[in-house]
Amino acid sequence: MTTAHAEAADGTFPHEPEKATLEGRNKVLAFWLFLGGEAVLFGTLFATFLALRNQTNEGPSAAELFHLPLVAAATLLLLVSSLTSVFAIQAMHRGNVAQLRNWLLVTVLLGLAFLILEIYEFSVYVRHEEFGMTTSAFSSAFYTLVGFHGAHVAFGILWIAVLIGQLLHKGLTVVTAPKIYVSAMYWHFIDVVWVFIFTVVYLLGKVG
């Protein structure tokens, strides 16, 4: 690994540092596989939600509950954060560590804003609408699906924050680059899942 540092110093740092070593390539491949498993995980949660979404048990229904402007704002934040993570990877491919760090930081902040909106949304439902985990099968399925996604966002924020710390300490190397690259893949994945949540949970709930 010491050679990689030397290469970076000479300015001969590889264009795609995440794929420069076998370990890096393995990591990227395994992460694609992992996302395949994650797709099944969310697929099962979506199936559960679709099966139970009208089982409101005399509690609030989706149409009464959801405020689309709030959800649209959250969606915007998350979609933009996916774009900024692309900028981060492009900066990495140019070897520009400062830009990479800044774009990662923007991504994390956007993710955090999304998460705060989601927590606010949940707290409104629980406190003012009497819509909790135990209210109905619909509520259980809603909190589990959307909450699982939220937990993924929270984990992503922590993960990328740790990677920013690594980047500051160790710089951009063939060890840190694959980690940053797969974290961006993860971030896109949770973004895609959110697009489905927005459609299946919120739009379908409001108008379906």
Partner 1 sequence: MDWITTVDHKKIAILYLWAGGLFFGIGGLEAILIRIQLIKPMNTFLDAQTFNELITMHGTTMIFLGVMPVIFALMNAVIPLQIGARDVAFPFLNSLGFWTFLFGGLLLNLSWVMGGAPDAGWTAYTPLSGKGYSATHGVDFYTIGLQIAGLGTLIGGINFLATIITMRAPGMSFMRMPMFAWATFITSAIILFAFPAVTVGLVLLTFDRILDANFFNVAGGGNPVLWQHIFWIFGHPEVYILILPAFGIISEVIPTFSRKRLFGYSSMVFATILIAFLGFMVWAHHMFTTGLGPVANALFSVSTMLIAVPTGIKIFNWLFTMWGGQVRFTTPNLFAAGFIPTFTMGGVTGVMLASAPADFQFHDTYFVVAHFHYVIVGGLVLGLFAGLHYWWPKMFGRMLSETLGKWTFWTFIIGFHLTFFVQHFLGLMGMQRRVFTYLPNQQFDTLNLVSTVGAFLMGVGMIIFLVNVFLTSRRPADAPEDPWEDGRTLEWTIPSPPPEYNFKQTPLVRGLDAFWKEKMAGHKGMTPAEPVGPIHMPSATILPFLMSVGIFIAGLGFMFSRDEFSSSIMSFLFNNYIVTALGLLITFGSMLMRSLFDDHGWHIEPEELEGR
How far is residue 114 CA from its own chain's centroid?
A: 10
* 45: its two tokens: 């949660």
Taking the least distance from each CB to partner 1, the nearer of 86 and 105 is 105
CB of 24 to partner 1, least distance (A): 11
Are the C-beta atoms of 52 and 141 separated by less than 8 Å?
yes
CB of 81 to partner 1, least distance (A): 21
Taking the least distance from each CB to partner 1, the nearer of 52 and 77 is 52
E-state strands within 46-187: none
Are the C-beta atoms of 176 and 192 separated by less than 8 Å?
no
Taking the least distance from each CB to partner 1, the nearer of 56 and 85 is 56
Taking the least distance from each CB to partner 1, the nearer of 44 and 199 is 44
- Give the C-alpha separation, 48 to 194, whole Å: 16
- Give the C-alpha separation, 43 to 40, whole Å: 5
Taking the least distance from each CB to partner 1, the nearer of 31 and 77 is 31
CB of 42 to partner 1, least distance (A): 8
CA proximity to 155, closest of 192, 126, 112, 117: 112
| Residue numbers at the binding site for partner 1 (CB under 8 A) | 1, 22, 25-26, 29-30, 33-34, 36-38, 40-41, 44-45, 47-48, 51-52, 55-57, 133-141, 144, 162-163, 165-166, 170, 175, 179
CB of 101 to partner 1, least distance (A): 17
In whole angstroms, how far apart are CA 145 and each of 4, 21, 77, 124, 167?
42, 37, 19, 18, 33
CB of 148 to partner 1, least distance (A): 8
